[in-house]
Chain A
Amino acid sequence: MIAYTLRRIGLAGFVSLGVVLLTFAIGRIVPGDPAGAWAGPRAGPEQRERIREELGLDAPVPEQFVTYIWGVLRGDWGVSVRTHRPVLEDLSILLPNTFQLVFAGLFLGVLLGVPAGLLAAHCHNRLPDFGIRLGGLLGAAMPVFWLALMLQLLFSSNLGWLPINGIYDRSVENAYPLSEVTGAPVVDSLITGNWPMFLSSLEHLILPAIVVAAYPFAIVTRIVRANVLDTLGEGHIQLTRALGFSESAVLGRFALRSAWNPVLQVSALIFGSSLVNTFLVESVFTYPGLGNYAAAAAKVQDIPAIVGVTLLVALCYLAANLAVDLLHAALDPRIRLR
């Protein structure tokens, strides 16, 4: 296990170096000239030359890359063209908000997806099964930004049940200031017992979280249904039936067990997709997270910000993959021997 862990961490380190190289390359393929993009359209030639030197763009490319890696390691991720603040500083404020949204979505997706998958398997090829399968198909094929807009139209604009955008109500924040612990408002207000803020941030989270949950729901439902159906015919499940366990125990306690491993295997993939889906969801709900930041940056070709977000999300995704692999190996010894 130790050898496997070390090998896996070494590989992750190597891949993160590759990702840094990839983001470095993306920052250099801007058509025309990065210094020009940085200086803006009205800059004169000598101003552009000065910025070129300032950004280190006159140095040979390998030297630039070394400077770039060194900067990434020291926490110097460049300065955003749009906000004029260090990129890493911006990101560290926004990351907890995005994590709050992603985990709420994942939680909701799994919470609804597992029972739905079980129900579909139980009612195999009957109406509930078809309904749930259709729901799963639509969840996977849904353009998330469109779903976000439709829910916003229905629940905020027309019915007025939920706030239309943002992360919490500014006026509530003024009355009950939020003390920062983790940076995620829902968690912070809960820990500090700030109930008005907790309610406010929770009701702002509901619609975005439902949209983010659509994809995990689709995948989890599908895996649970398929695996439970495959297992139902097997001897040990028939035995539990013969022993007189109730149908819900047979499905939920015994057959469901075979689905956890496949769900674990795709959990990093689902996490990555949900992280990227928040980009679209956040920009619809103007929710202050990484995605909203990246979407705004993309509109004005703010390359340092986009590259920063890409790098940060890729590193989170790598860490999730590593964690899932190690967990998987800890649970299943066969993996380690491969």
Chain B
Amino acid sequence: MTTTSPTHPPLPTRVLAEARRSPVLAVTIVLLILVALVGVFAPWIAPYPEDALGNTAPDRSYIPPSSDHWFGTDHLGRDVFSRVVYGTRFGLVVSVAVVCISLVIGIVIGLLAGYIGGWWDEGLMRVTDVFLAVPGLLLALALASALNPGLIGATIALSVTWWPWYTRIIRGEVLSVMGRKHIEACRALGLSHTRVLLRHVLPNARTSLMVQASTDFGSVLLAVAALSFLGLGAQSPTPDWGLMVEQARTHFSTHWWMGTFPGLAILFVAALFYLLGDGLRDRLDPKHTTSTGSGGTT
């Protein structure tokens, strides 16, 4: 499947050709890589790294944006720019963790439901119905408030909330390929169930999963920020974007910079993930070959 034919152009040429074909997608991916690099190299980028780790400096509190403090300082004198830079780590790590955990749960249950069928399918699908019957953020909010508040609790709560979407996708894809000849041939050749599922059924769902997961990185990022804003996610002094906006609330009318920049960071990264999802859908899904940017609902 991954064999490269000798006539294939070298990798840089192919990357350039892809970039020319979907420029928005290329720019989005480059920007997302930059965002990830900001997270990785936060200690070197942040001018006041200690401010992100619990240090306070009351003598320089409430300084408006200036050349020393690009995004100003907050009520405890912490450099907002440094904290926003560090916040990249928490936002990205939690989003990736939630999507990965949900993908694993969703894939396992979806494959089982679609492949075994019958009562298993019926039972598992009714369970996903129940989970999907509660609006996502609300279920996460209820779970997070029952668990110990913190980023771990928020990650668990959001993962429990998110998996049914993947289960639905996987099951649909499984059902659509089950009757096809190549799957029957695999079984006739005596391949094990696990092998058929993982090597021949699952790859069919790759495109749908990639599109859904990239959009979900954005949705989860927003949900984590919302939970932190409500006091159920990250706890002080974690430089989490949602929590930073929450802490800025009481000072907002007089010190606008404290909450404005963390909020812009959430908006920027979430928008990038949504663009990534749209771009991938246009690029990979043969049904959406037009560059109209049309397609799904979210």
Residue-by-residue, is A258-271 near B (CB-CB < 8 Å gives 1, otherwise 0)? 00001001100100
Stretch at the interface among B8-16, B98-106, B189-197, B224-232: B224-232
A222: chain B residues at CB < 8 Å are: 294, 297
Contacts known (A143-B266, A145-B229, A150-B263); A310 close to B134, Cβ less than 8 A: yes
Contact for B133 among A284, A297, A307, A317, CB less than 8 A: A317
Q: How far is the CB of A41 from chain B (nearest CB, A)?
A: 15
Contacts known (A31-B147, A226-B295, A279-B141); A272 close to B130, Cβ less than 8 A: no
A226: chain B residues at CB < 8 Å are: 292-295
C-alpha spacing A318/B142, complex, angstroms = 18
C-alpha spacing A317/B138, complex, angstroms = 11
Stretch at the interface among A20-28, A60-68, A106-114: A20-28
Contact for B245 among A140, A141, A143, A225, CB less than 8 A: A143
CB within 8 Å of A: which B9-37 residues:
none
**Once the chains bind, are B295 and A19 in contact (CB under 8 Å)?**
no
CB within 8 Å of A: which B181-218 residues:
218
C-alpha spacing A229/B291, complex, angstroms = 11
Stretch at the interface among B57-65, B74-82, B168-176, B269-277: B269-277
CB of A298 closer than 8 Å to a CB of B? yes
Q: How far is the CB of A92 from chain B (nearest CB, A)?
A: 18
**Once the chains bind, are A18 and B129 in contact (CB under 8 Å)?**
yes
**Once the chains bind, are B270 and A143 in contact (CB under 8 Å)?**
yes
CB of B111 closer than 8 Å to a CB of A? no
Contacts known (A140-B274, A225-B294, A276-B138); A26 close to B231, Cβ less than 8 A: no
Stretch at the interface among B45-53, B113-121, B252-260: B252-260
Task: Identify the closest chain B residue to A154 (Cβ).
Answer: B256
Contact for B129 among A15, A31, A225, CB less than 8 A: A15
**Once the chains bind, are B253 and A143 in contact (CB under 8 Å)?**
no
CB of B127 closer than 8 Å to a CB of A? yes
C-alpha spacing A225/B295, complex, angstroms = 10
Residue-by-residue, is A213-226 near B (CB-CB < 8 Å gives 1, otherwise 0)? 00000010011011
CB of A5 closer than 8 Å to a CB of B? no
Task: Identify the closest chain B residue to A142 (Cβ).
Answer: B267
Contact for A298 among B137, B230, B242, B294, CB less than 8 A: B230
CB of B55 closer than 8 Å to a CB of A? no
**Once the chains bind, are B297 and A314 in contact (CB under 8 Å)?**
no
Q: How far is the CB of B137 from chain A (nearest CB, A)?
A: 5
Task: Identify the closest chain B residue to A121 (Cβ).
Answer: B292
B108: chain A residues at CB < 8 Å are: none
**Once the chains bind, are B245 and A146 in contact (CB under 8 Å)?**
yes
Q: How far is the CB of A108 from chain B (nearest CB, A)?
A: 19
With most chain A CB atoms within 10 A of its CB, the pick from B130, B131, B142, B297 is B142
CB of B139 closer than 8 Å to a CB of A? yes
A266: chain B residues at CB < 8 Å are: 297
B148: chain A residues at CB < 8 Å are: 31
**Once the chains bind, are B231 and A299 in contact (CB under 8 Å)?**
yes
**Once the chains bind, are A22 and B245 in contact (CB under 8 Å)?**
no
**Once the chains bind, are A314 and B135 in contact (CB under 8 Å)?**
yes
**Once the chains bind, are A298 and B252 in contact (CB under 8 Å)?**
no
Residue-by-residue, is A124-136 near B (CB-CB < 8 Å gives 1, otherwise 0)? 1000000001000
**Once the chains bind, are A145 and B226 in contact (CB under 8 Å)?**
yes
**Once the chains bind, are B267 and A140 in contact (CB under 8 Å)?**
no
CB within 8 Å of A: which B217-267 residues:
218, 222, 225-226, 229-232, 242, 245-246, 248-249, 252-253, 256, 259-260, 263, 266-267
Which residue numbers of A lie inside 8 Å of B, CB to CB? 11, 14-16, 18-19, 21-23, 26-27, 29-31, 124, 133, 137-138, 140-146, 149-150, 152-153, 157-158, 219, 222-223, 225-227, 229-230, 262, 265-266, 269, 272-273, 275-276, 279-280, 283-284, 294-295, 297-299, 301, 303, 306-307, 309-310, 313-314, 317-318, 321
Additional 20 contacts, C-beta under 8 A, given A141-B270, A279-B230: A15-B130, A19-B133, A30-B146, A31-B148, A141-B274, A142-B270, A143-B245, A145-B229, A146-B266, A157-B252, A230-B294, A269-B298, A272-B135, A276-B137, A276-B138, A298-B230, A299-B231, A301-B146, A314-B133, A318-B133
* 28 sample A-B contacts, Cβ–Cβ < 8 Å, listed by A number: A15-B130, A15-B133, A19-B130, A23-B142, A29-B147, A31-B148, A138-B267, A140-B274, A143-B225, A143-B267, A146-B245, A149-B248, A149-B252, A149-B259, A153-B256, A226-B295, A229-B294, A273-B135, A279-B138, A279-B141, A298-B141, A298-B232, A299-B231, A303-B145, A309-B138, A310-B142, A317-B135, A318-B133
